[in-house]
Chain A
Amino acid sequence: MDCRPVTAAAAALVIAVTIVLSLRGLARIETEEATPDPAGPLIGHRVRAWYRGLFGPLEEQLAALGVHPDHLTYGALVVSVFSGVAFARGAFFLAGWLTILAGTLDIIDGGLARRTGLASARGAFVDSVVDRWAESATFLGLGIWFWRDRSLLGVAIAAFASQMVSYVRARAEGLGVELASGRAQRPERYVILGIGAWLTGLSGHLLCPLLGYRPQKLIVVTVWVLAAVATWTAVERTREAAAALRARESR
């Protein structure tokens, strides 16, 4: 088994420096966010604004180069397929990074569409559908890795619940109910899976010389956390939609 603690330590150092710089930037952002919404997303408005802002200059550059938002949407799908392949091979650092990259492309495509005036109902539809395929590709890879493990159940629950989070919202919107709530929306799921996998790969290489093997328990914990929060979000949204429909019908 390959242990590469020096490379892992260098990566950890770069990540640590980036976190420090990011916190400095984050602290300077002012938002109009009032009291936190208990049913709102796990990632708050401030962090979302900061992360979107990070890629503002890149969006400008892409707009100047004439890149169409659809290219980024399909790019996110391709990256997610690679992420699935990396998960299937147990390359967790790479898989985590690719998951975060796919999530970033998913954010940039919307920003680019708004910036270039190309935001449309068709674009939103294609983006949502491609997102579901992309998410499935990632979970498929994770399922292949856990094929003979009990955690395959966790992967199945996480995959099913993640699709349900989106389906419930789409069905409710089809019935005229807007659903904005949900603790683990798509960005949260990207972050949980991406960072969990990333840390699994990093810690595995750092601890490998001490343990004689690369520990991978963290990815198991990540899968079950993801399964729990995605299920919770799907149930929460179902209850909210049902309550809104009941209130409408009783008027």
Chain B
Amino acid sequence: MSGRGLRPVAFLIAMLGFGLRLETRWRGTGTALLAVAAVLAVLAFRHKTGAPFVPDDERG
């Protein structure tokens, strides 16, 4: 998957991690998900597209 494709996935996983840490007893799982999200975010932002969150077919 491209870097741009990983960004929303990283965000969704990060929010699940925060949610588990904030509101459940599964804090360890939440922390693990935050770590996964951080790795995905780093991988995503290593691809320099110059246009975060802009899909190819929608670029102006």
Contact = CB atoms under 8 A, between A and B. Distances in A.
Nearest to A31: B58
A15 to B, nearest CB: 8
A49 B58 contact: yes
B21 A4 contact: yes
Contact of B1 (A21, A26, A61, A91): A61
With a 10 A CB-CB cut-off, give which of A29, A60, A89 has the most chain B CB atoms.
A29
A36 interface: no
Given A7-B21, A53-B57, A91-B24, A28 B11 contact: no
B28 interface: no
Contacts of A28: 51, 54, 59-60
Secondary structure of the A contact surface, majority rule? helix
Interface string A85-107: 01001011110010001001000
A94 B5 contact: no
Interface in B1-58: 1-2, 4-5, 7-9, 11-12, 14-16, 18-24, 51-58
Interface string A8-35: 1011001100100110111011100000
B19 A57 contact: no
B54 A53 contact: yes
B9 A58 contact: yes
A4 B14 CA distance: 16
Contacts of B7: 21, 54
Nearest to A198: B15
Interface of A: 4, 7-8, 10-11, 14-15, 18, 21-22, 24-26, 28-30, 49-50, 52-58, 60-61, 86, 89, 91-94, 97, 101, 104, 201, 205
26 contacts: A10-B18, A14-B14, A21-B7, A22-B52, A25-B53, A28-B60, A53-B54, A53-B58, A54-B8, A54-B53, A56-B5, A56-B56, A57-B5, A57-B55, A58-B5, A58-B8, A60-B1, A93-B19, A94-B16, A94-B20, A97-B12, A97-B16, A97-B19, A101-B12, A201-B23, A205-B22
